[in-house]
Amino acid sequence: MTDKQEMQEIFSKKVRAGRRTYFFDVRSTKAGDYYMTITESVKDVTDEGVSSYRKHKIYLYKEDFSNFKEAFEQVSSYIIAEKGEAIISDKKFEKKE
């Protein structure tokens, strides 16, 4: 398997969330096993109208799936229990001058 083939996505799902997009990708290791990458991509637009994207990525391997899923579910449940499912604010905070 070449390095280029290793970097290709096996399976992918995209979640749009306002200016953010989340990518859940399955990739293959050199040994042929699978792992997941989760990428957050945020679109930024300058005052001149030039678009760019900031990306943050995490890698998850099968041995970590169970612990990750459990922690995600606990934190999600806590937030919903404390604050409900309604969105409190979608507004971008303005810079104070």
Q: Tell me the domain boundaries of the chain.
A: 3-83
What pLDDT does residue 94 have?
46
pLDDT of residue 58 exceeding 60, the answer is: yes
Q: What is the pLDDT of residue 7?
A: 61
pLDDT of residue 96 exceeding 70: no
Quick one: pLDDT at residue 49? 86
Mean pLDDT along residues 71-96? 81
Indicate the class that CATH gives domain 3-83: alpha beta
The Cα–Cα gap between 88 and 95 comes to 19
Q: What does the pLDDT average to over 63-84? A: 97
Q: What percent of the chain has pLDDT over 70?
A: 85
